[in-house]
Amino acid sequence: MVNILRNIAFATALAAAGLAAPAAADGIMDEPLPRFEDRLCPGIIGLDREYAELMVTRLRENADALGLRLASEEACEANVVIAFVEDSREYLAEMMDQRGYLFNDMTPFQRRQLLESADASGVWHQVAARTRDGIRVGRRENLAQVPTAGMWQAHSRIYRPVRHDITYALVLLDRDEARGLTLRQLADYATLRALATEFPADAGEAEASMLTLFEHAEKPAELTAFDRAWLERLYAGLPNIPASTRMQGVEVAEGD
């Protein structure tokens, strides 16, 4: 199995590239939603090896079912890390305090929003802007020098010249809140939160979703039909499709 399940030095991996805030659909600035394009390598921190291996197996099964590419289990550097910690919010706050440079591309508001959203779990994505062909678009260092990249591209309202790749996902799970949940539930929740940064408005409200795992007494046993439909929609087709197009009507197959 993956040889990094217990002691992953993910701080180095986080520092290796710049952090970009998740893209959001906003009228004219309708950017593509972030998603993984690199091969996935899941790893677990803070769990006994036997259970960690079972979780990794489930994570890989979920990714494979979506048609995502997987790195070799024997030799890969984790880019999807699930860490069991005492307090997710406190952990993120310490990261911001001790490794503030990792959050340079986030506004103060986005940092506060990230901390406020962390409760029984916390999720942080490292996102990089790349051209349609996968060429890295450097990150902005100031207001005067804007990153640019050249390529052949016909004008289109259907596709965007730049895509947003998730290069690293960290899912923090509070140990106390995780007690009593099955490994399948935890792995499926982590799958959903790691692979997507945005969700349709009715996720967890009108539609049953793993997003409610730590909120409702009636907890889904695994990824719901809606969760799978959304992930399939997110990872279908080209990565540079505008968010508004991607978000349109996620259909759940009848009988699911």
CB 163 within 8 A of CB 209: no
Is 253 a domain residue? no
Q: pLDDT tens digits, residue range 30-69?
A: 889 999 999 999 999 999 999 999 999 999 999 999 999 9
Is 5 a domain residue? no
Is 256 a domain residue? no
Is 147 a domain residue? no
- Residue 127 belongs to domain spanning: 10-139+153-247
Is 166 a domain residue? yes
In this prediction, residue 249 carries a pLDDT of: 61
pTM for the structure as a whole: 0.78
Instruction: Say how many domains are in the chain.
Output: 1
CB 183 within 8 A of CB 55: yes
Q: pLDDT tens digits, residue range 61-110?
A: 999 999 999 999 888 999 999 999 999 989 888 888 888 877 877 788 88
DSSP notation for 107-174: -HHHHHHHHHH-SSEEEEEEEEEEETTS-B-PPP-SSS------------SSS-SEEEEEEEEEEEEE
Measured CA to CA, the distance from residue 230 to residue 154 in angstroms comes to 29
Is 78 a domain residue? yes
Is 252 a domain residue? no
Is 3 a domain residue? no
Which residues are paired to 81 by β-bridges?
43, 170
